């Protein structure tokens, strides 16, 4: 869970981006600035001409990710089998905007959706291969999991209070007894190997596809070095059946890591559900589905 952008998000628009570009990178001032079709929460992104994007944090809590990505993306990219963002320029506060920002290369493709994917099991294997390659990257001087990653890569116990509060709030509306067992199982394991690189938000919105296949991974804002369990949440949020089995085989991590991954997925789904169960039926149904998938998976694998 990250900070609420509040006024920062509302104050970012194409006119601001035009002013920032004109003031700091005048060589690009004649290029058109347009919102992207699918935007994120931590950052607002605008297309700059045909070949670039401008990415601006929406709140102070997301600012550390700017320097982190600018520094580490060029170092990680050569070791990864999938394209990642290329940083072209680093902007500074100005024109009434208080945070650093960046200009990046445009990555073709669309955010992943089952309707855009030819073979979901093969897609799951491609995601697993990206994760495995990330684990092989040199961790020397890498940022250890902590506040900058919203504690992705750290033990899920950081969100124990959140999770128990949600369980209490959702009593009678989800199977909180089974969910508590899954959460306890996540807390009783720990990452026993050396720390590895993790992305922190391997989710459909951060995976780009073209011609039915995975082509790029974006938004490394929560990346760092630590426990890779957080990167397995997609097993329940996007994959199921054959694709989940293919992902699990290909990513090849131990049962304890999967137990913690179920904890991460459960925490986020409970948190989302507690916030929307009486106000957003479609979102509530999706989070209830994820919770049910996680509980069933625990019953199958323990």
**204-253 pLDDT tens trace:** 999 999 999 999 999 999 999 999 999 999 999 999 999 999 999 999 99
Every domain range in the chain assigned CATH 3.30.200.20:
7-106
% of the chain surpassing 70 pLDDT: 96
Per CATH, which fold does 111-301 belong to? Answer: Aminoglycoside 3'-phosphotransferase; Chain: A, domain 2 (3.90.1200)
* Helices 160-169 and 255-276, axial angle in degrees (round to 10): 50
**Residue 7 pLDDT grade (very low, low, confident, very high; cuts 50, 70, 90):** very low
The closest alpha carbon to 191, from 218, 224, 235, 239, belongs to 224
**158-186 pLDDT tens trace:** 999 999 999 999 999 999 999 999 999 99
Every domain range in the chain assigned CATH 3.90.1200.10:
111-301
Q: In the chain, which ranges are E strands?
A: 33-35, 43-48, 52-57, 87-91, 101-105, 110-111, 196-198, 207-210, 213-217, 224-226
Three-state DSSP class for residue 200: coil
CATH superfamily for 7-106 is: Phosphorylase Kinase; domain 1 (3.30.200.20)
User: What is the distance of C-alpha 220 from the center of its chain?
Assistant: 7
**94-138 pLDDT tens trace:** 999 999 999 999 999 999 988 889 999 999 999 999 999 999 999
Supply 82's token pair. 């999938």
The closest alpha carbon to 98, from 169, 191, 5, belongs to 5
Over the chain, what is the mean pLDDT? 94
Q: How many helices (H) and strands (E) does the chain have?
A: 10, 10
Comparison of pLDDT for 37 and 197, the residue scoring more: 197
Please give the biggest Cα pair distance in the chain.
Answer: 60
């Amino acid at each position: 869970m990250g900070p609420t952008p509040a006024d920062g998000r509302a104050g970012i628009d194409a006119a601001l981006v035009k002013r920032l570009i004109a003031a700091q990178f005048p060589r690009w001032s004649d290029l058109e600035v347009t919102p992207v079709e699918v935007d994120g929460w931590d950052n607002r992104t605008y297309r700059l001409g045909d070949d670039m994007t401008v990415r601006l944090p929406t709140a102070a809590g997301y600012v550390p990710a700017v320097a982190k990505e600018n520094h580490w993306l060029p170092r990680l990219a050569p070791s990864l089998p999938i394209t990642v963002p290329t940083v072209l320029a680093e902007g500074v506060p100005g024109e009434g905007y208080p945070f650093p920002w960046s200009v990046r290369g445009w990555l073709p493709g669309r955010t992943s959706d089952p309707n855009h994917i030819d073979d979901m099991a093969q897609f799951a294997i491609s995601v697993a291969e990206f994760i495995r390659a990330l684990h092989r990257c040199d961790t020397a001087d890498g940022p250890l999991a902590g506040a900058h990653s919203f504690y992705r890569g750290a033990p899920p116990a950081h969100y124990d209070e959140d999770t128990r509060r949600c369980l209490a709030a959702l009593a009678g509306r989800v199977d909180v007894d089974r969910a508590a067992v899954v959460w306890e199982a996540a807390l009783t394991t720990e990452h026993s190997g050396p720390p590895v690189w993790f992305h922190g938000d391997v989710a459909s919105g951060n995976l780009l596809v073209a011609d039915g296949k995975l082509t790029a991974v974006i938004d490394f804002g929560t990346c760092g070095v630590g426990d890779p369990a957080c990167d397995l949440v997609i097993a329940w949020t996007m994959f199921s059946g054959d694709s989940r089995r293919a992902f699990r085989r290909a990513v090849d991590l131990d049962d304890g890591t999967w137990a913690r991954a179920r904890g991460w997925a459960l925490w986020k789904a409970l948190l989302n559900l507690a916030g929307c169960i009486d106000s957003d039926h479609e979102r509530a149904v999706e989070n209830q589905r994820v919770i049910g998938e996680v509980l069933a998976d625990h019953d199958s694998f323990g």
